[in-house]
Structure 1
Amino acid sequence: MTENQNRVAPVTGAAQGIGRGIALRLAQDGYDVAIADLDFQKEKGEGVVKEIEELGRKAVFVALDVTDKDAFEKAVDTTAEALGGLHTLVNNAGIAQVKPILEVTEEELEKIYRINVHSVFFGIQAAVRKFEEQGVKGKIVNAASIAAVKGFPILSAYSSTKFAVRGITQAAAQELAPKGHTVNAYAPGIVGTGMWDLIDEKLHEVNGKPIGQNLKENVDSIALGRIETPEDVAGVVSFFADERSDYVTGQVLLVDGGMLYN
């Protein structure tokens, strides 16, 4: 899309899965993209960089631990220096946790909140600083989930973090609207990535159903009759990152094939 020429977006957790799908879609839309992921994911991340370059856009891998505020600030600066600015941030990185609520430990809560919630604050703060430096009306797109709309059993910690992301998105949208920045979130359902393989395995340990059955039962509940792909999610992010969404802010858009209706 010509409208997006020379726009720049870092995507956290973009070395694989949904993040990779988002990064590739933004590149197709005309964005230059920073693949921001943990250092040990560098090889995979560099692979995504090559895929983007084959699409005719610029890309760079930026090592980032999203739980480190200073590292997030540096990653934003590195992205802007390497690619020529910053116009959109996609706070995609996150983890799941499948465990009965009575068994969740303090350490596990701290870990999932640092990754799923603290990182969203850090990303917003770093991105808005850079937007203001550049005089840019920026776009922030956060990763929510169907678990941001409905809490799910055995996913209590995860659900609570995604409800938090929903609240942060609404509050930040109101605070940043006078500056011209928009803040929205995408809420996927059951996406065919490694995260859901992990969830299926953990559910098996909890309820004893054979590996694959929990996933199948959940997919069977989807109105459109198929599992979600990273490309399905990326289409929503593409909209939020584009000028078509300039009058949309504070929204959490379900992209779940028809599981929840809000």
Structure 2
Amino acid sequence: HATSQAVISTLPTGLKVVDLSADFRLRDPAEYEKWYGQPHAAQELQKEAVYGLTEFYRDDIKGARLVAGTGCNAATGQFALRPLIAAGVIDLDDILIDLKAGVSGAGRSLKENLLHAELSGGTHAYSAGGKHRHLGEFDQEFSKVAGRPVQVRFTPHLLPMNRGILASVYVKGDAKIVHQVLKKAYENEPFLRVLPFGTLPSTRDIAGSNFCHLGVIGDRVAGRALVVAVLDNLTKGSSGQAIQNANLMLDLPETEGLMLAPVFP
């Protein structure tokens, strides 16, 4: 992060770029400075950047020169919630995203808490209390879909595994309607699979692949639903998404090079 703005500004204007950093994800430079702690250094480029959540910005991505890859956590939460917000079937003021991520989701920087000896055998919440930077993406995208401010509660947890994300998303709404909306929204998407009602996915189902699986189940209290979404942060959450977007930008089949089956065990 904070390097792509300077680098991309020097590239030929005819070159197509998919940026995996956070430098162009937030459309409002003030929001970028709020979440990343420094002024946006390429505001003119920001105006042409397209947010890279493929399934929801497909047409814009096809004609884009610069696509901003999403955060892996942000993608997972959005796959669970965007269709529900758009359909108006959940309470927008009572959304909780409880997310578990493998250690690769925290990056490759040399930090003591990411050492195997420190992480193995335990788990912990991080960037809790509304501090995680991907909240900027949630605020931007959910508010855009809803047409009014939406602020979700979001707490990520780091698990002692290499890769994978599992998000448990708690909403108020009829569970079967929630399932129907998601199933309809993704019925023609090659990489998004909605499981039968009451069946919940596991990270092992999508490891090493560009797939995202979603499951919905009801609660003992009527009017509550749980949506569980899983994806691999290193593929559908980043590099696989980048290839999917590049395929669109280059007028190639969207699934080119991405139909690998999940790897388990």
More strand by share: 2
Q: Same fold (TM over 0.5)?
A: no
More helix by share: 1
TM-score by length of 1: 0.29
TM-score by length of 2: 0.29
